[in-house]
């Protein structure tokens, strides 16, 4: 048993030592290759505690003048809307670039993980090792995005995710960039509008018990605590639950005047409907998770008056944004939402990375994104972008209210 443990430790140390250096094809691989396969020029994969390989890292400097490919992928989460949004956004951005003259071809590769994080991880490996992508967009939900982080770190592939879970950018990876305002930023803005603009001091939180829900709920709790305010109630629900009457009974008993529900927009719409059925007249609060038009469609009258924070809204009269929205609407038959704008801008960032560096490789894309430390280096649909050292994005958020089934801007 001791010898087995020692062997495992040795292999594990070897894995750790080589982690991140796979792209450089360390000498040890060449040496072992020479020993075991003298006629082979590349070391074959080693299967022990993990899978080693020396994949093509997508470094195609020599191909800049020819047709080459770089790929973007995303997960296809459980609800069709997010995937469709991501697909349309990226296609939309690709079309924009296709109209300009550049020396490379764009190839979009997509994988469906159905919001299953095991599949997210598998898809990540496939995209990096088989499809040789230079960047990954996804996952679109926090738990799966978190699961992908160790792999994108290992394979040194920039990962741009819309997941807002706090821990995503706290894994020590310099290859993860959050293209949405994280939980801390969103909840701080939401708390500000709820307290200062709407005048609510007794607020309840009802959140789904996953990474996203917990991050947002705790962020909001901290934001309220920073104002010296306590939450009226703080309840969670299993992610798959659909009946919230028990939790809502506690919210009602707490005397709260406002309710912040955190979860998939389906759950938030159900919470709104069931709260109304119970005769509760609460100010509803929401974050980018509820920014989808489906939230209004499913919630109907129950979500009237809800206040949300979101990165983008087609209600902004800015001519540039109106033109963007119109182009999108003409092409896809619906208004763009925050995810569309985030992904659109992200694709633009990647294109700029390629154009300015003159190289199509993962490290160049990563370095460009990491260099966007000051606002103004990149201006997109969402305004001036910047990333901090941990990969957190910063751009202004809209505070919108649902009136007569439409969103109107309260402030930005």
Partner 1 sequence: MDLATASQLVVSGLTIGCVYSLVGLGFALTLTATELVNFAQGEMVMLGAFIGLSLITMTGMPYVMAFLLATLATGLIGVALERGVLRPILDRRAPLLNLLIATLGLSIALQALAIIIWGREPIAYPQIFSTEPIILFGIRAQALNLWILGLGFAAMAALQYFFRFTLTGIAWRAASLDPATAALYGVSRRRNVALTFAISGALGGAAGVLMAPLFFASFGLGHTVIVKAFAAAALGGFGIVGTMLGGLALGVIETLAAGALPSEYKNIITFAILIAVLMFFFRPKQAAGRSITETAKVAIGDAAGFFASRTRRMAVIAALALVWLLLLAFADTYALRVLNMALISAIAVLGLQLVVGLTGQFHSDKRSFVKDRHRVPAGEQHERP
Q: What is the rounded distance in angstroms from the CA atom of residue 344 to the CA atom of residue 327?
A: 13
- Closer to partner 1 at the Cβ: 40 or 379? 40
Q: What is the DSSP string of 111-151?
A: ---TT-HHHHHHHHHHHHHTS--S-EE--SSHHHHHHHHHH
CA distance 325 to 312: 10
Q: Please, which residue, 89 or 269, has the CB nearer to partner 1? A: 269
CA of residue 254 relative to chain centroid, distance: 34
Q: Residue 48's CB: how many other CB atoms inside 10 A? A: 13
Residue 343 C-alpha from the chain's centroid: 9
Nearer to partner 1, 31 or 409 (CB): 31
Q: Which is nearer to partner 1, 95 or 242 (CB)?
A: 242
Number of H helices, E strands in the chain: 13, 16
Identify the burial level of 78 via C-beta atoms within 10 angstroms of its C-beta, where 0-12 means exposed, 13-18 middle and 19 or more buried.
Answer: middle
Least distance from partner 1 to the Cβ atom of residue 316, Å: 26
Output the smallest distance, CB 153 to partner 1, in A: 15
Q: How far is the CB of 336 from partner 1 (least distance, A)?
A: 17
Question: Of 84 and 94, which CB lies nearer to partner 1 in the complex structure?
Answer: 84
Catalog residues that contact partner 1 under the rule CB under 8 A. Answer: 37, 44-47, 51-53, 55, 78-81, 83, 118, 122, 125-126, 129-130, 209, 235-238, 240-247, 249-250, 252-253, 266, 269-270, 276-279, 294, 297-298, 300-301
How much is the CA Rg of the chain, to the nearest whole Å? 23
Q: How far is the CB of 279 from partner 1 (least distance, A)?
A: 5
CB of 288 to partner 1, least distance (A): 18
* Least Cβ distance, residue 166 to partner 1 (angstroms): 20
Q: Closest CB to partner 1 among 13 and 42?
A: 42
- For 104, the enclosing helix (H) or strand (E) is none
7 CB-near residues (< 8 Å, 6+ apart): none
């Amino acid at each position: 048993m001791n010898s087995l443990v020692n062997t495992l430790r040795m292999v594990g140390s070897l894995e750790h030592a080589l982690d991140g250096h796979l792209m450089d094809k360390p000498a040890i691989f060449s040496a072992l290759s020479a020993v075991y396969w003298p006629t082979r020029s590349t070391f074959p994969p080693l299967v022990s505690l993990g899978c080693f390989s020396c994949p093509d890292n997508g470094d195609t400097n020599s191909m800049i003048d020819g047709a080459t490919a770089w790929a973007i992928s995303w997960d296809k989460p459980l609800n069709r809307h997010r995937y469709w949004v991501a697909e349309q956004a990226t296609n939309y951005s690709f079309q924009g670039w296709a109209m300009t003259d550049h020396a490379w071809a764009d190839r979009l590769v997509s994988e469906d993980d159905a919001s299953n994080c095991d599949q997210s991880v598998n898809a990540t490996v496939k995209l990096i090792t088989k499809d040789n992508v230079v960047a990954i967009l996804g996952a679109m939900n926090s738990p799966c995005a978190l699961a992908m982080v160790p792999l994108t770190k290992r394979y040194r592939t920039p990962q741009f995710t819309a997941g807002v879970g706090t821990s995503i950018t706290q894994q020590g990876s310099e290859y993860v960039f959050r293209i949405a305002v994280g939980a801390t930023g969103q909840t701080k803005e939401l708390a500000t509008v709820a307290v200062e603009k709407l005048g609510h001091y007794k607020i309840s939180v009802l959140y789904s018990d996953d990474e996203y829900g917990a991050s947002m709920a705790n962020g909001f709790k901290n934001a309220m605590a920073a104002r010296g305010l306590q939450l009226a109630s703080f309840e969670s629900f299993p992610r798959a639950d659909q009946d919230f009457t028990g939790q809502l009974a506690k919210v009602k008993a707490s005397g709260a005047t406002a309710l912040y529900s955190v979860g998939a927009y389906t759950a938030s719409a159900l919470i709104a409907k069931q709260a109304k059925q119970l005769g509760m007249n609460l100010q509803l609060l929401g974050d980018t998770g509820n920014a989808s038009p489906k939230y209004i469609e499913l919630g109907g009258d129950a979500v009237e008056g809800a206040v949300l924070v979101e990165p983008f809204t087609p209600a902004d009269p800015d001519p540039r944004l109106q033109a963007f929205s119109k182009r999108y609407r003409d092409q896809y038959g619906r208004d763009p939402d925050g995810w569309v704008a985030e992904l659109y801008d992200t694709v633009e960032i990647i294109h700029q990375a390629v154009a300015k560096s003159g190289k199509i490789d993962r490290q160049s894309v990563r370095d460009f994104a990491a260099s966007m430390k000051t606002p103004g280096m990149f201006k997109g649909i969402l305004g001036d972008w910047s990333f901090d050292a941990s990969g957190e994005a910063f751009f202004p958020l809209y505070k919108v209210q649902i009136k007569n089934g439409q969103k109107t801007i309260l402030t930005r």
